[in-house]
Amino acid sequence: MDNWAVEKHDSFMYGFNVKEVLYEKKSRIQEIKVVATERYGNILFLDNCVMLSEKWEFIYHEMIAHPVLFTHPSPKKVLIIGGGDGGTLREVLKHPNIRSVDMVEIDEDVVNVCKEYFPAVSKQINHSKANILIEDGIKFVANKKNEYDIILIDSSDPVGPAEGLFNSTFYKNAMESLRDDGILVAQSESPFFEMSYFKNAVNNIKKAFPISMTYTAFIPDYPFGLWSFTMGSKLYDPLHNFNKDNFEKYKLATKYYNQNIHFAAFSLPNFIKDVIK
């Protein structure tokens, strides 16, 4: 399989036919690899796991950002933990009411690699409203209190440097970093793949917030396609507090997210409901 880049696990693997390896290097944090493919554009791997493809990245980035940004009535200051590719930042900055975004990424090499090989994803990295901080997000939120309207946890899988982004202490600190009506959203893994990671993330967010709701999107880049996000909110419910006025006024250019998707994404299959009861 010399012409394939694969993500390999104990019980399965999947991969992509590769035209060329564009970049391959170990940073101080992790293995970074970028490959060029015929059908899916460039693909980013971190520690041999797929992070994004040029073809489908918009689904993940739109769905981690817009449901919460249209739930909070007037978000001004946003924190992104991780998100070194810049895609979540790009989506957040589509909202004109946002005044500033702190993006805390632990690995500067990821930011630089994505600026070179994923320019459409990382195009807002140098935006005047963006403040890029190369720091450990776990330590960062531990020292913040009552500062952000929204926190987005755009992390890799819960192994290595990202493992601490899924535990109850981190979510408690993140909750305290939010203002009184603040909302957090975290990518909470696949309900099909590594069910224990999914259940752990959802339950820990439930413990930290008075309102918590899980939603899903189909993302072809990731194992088995179905991926989850979990929202922890101090005050607002995404189904009852959808900001239709802003949605109609902003007319955002999105490829996946729309008003119907906003509500439909929170409709969960019974087997997922049973897991997170």
- Of 102, 107, 109, 154, which is the active-site residue? 154
Query: What's the burial of 254, exposed, middle or buried (CB within 10 Å: 0-12/13-18/19+)?
Result: middle
**Stretch (H or E) spanning 87:** helix 87-92
User: How are beta strands 148-154 and 178-187 bridged, if at all?
Assistant: parallel
Instruction: Let me know: does 15 contact 4? Beta carbons within 8 Å.
Output: yes
Question: Quick one: angle between helices 168-177 and 195-208, nearest 10?
Answer: 40
What CA–CA distances, in Å, run from 239 to 71, 88, 175, 260, 267?
8, 22, 21, 11, 10
Concerning whether 154 is annotated as a catalytic residue, the answer is yes
Contact 27, 109 (CB under 8 A): yes
Closest CA to 173 of 197, 198, 142: 142
Catalytic residues: 154
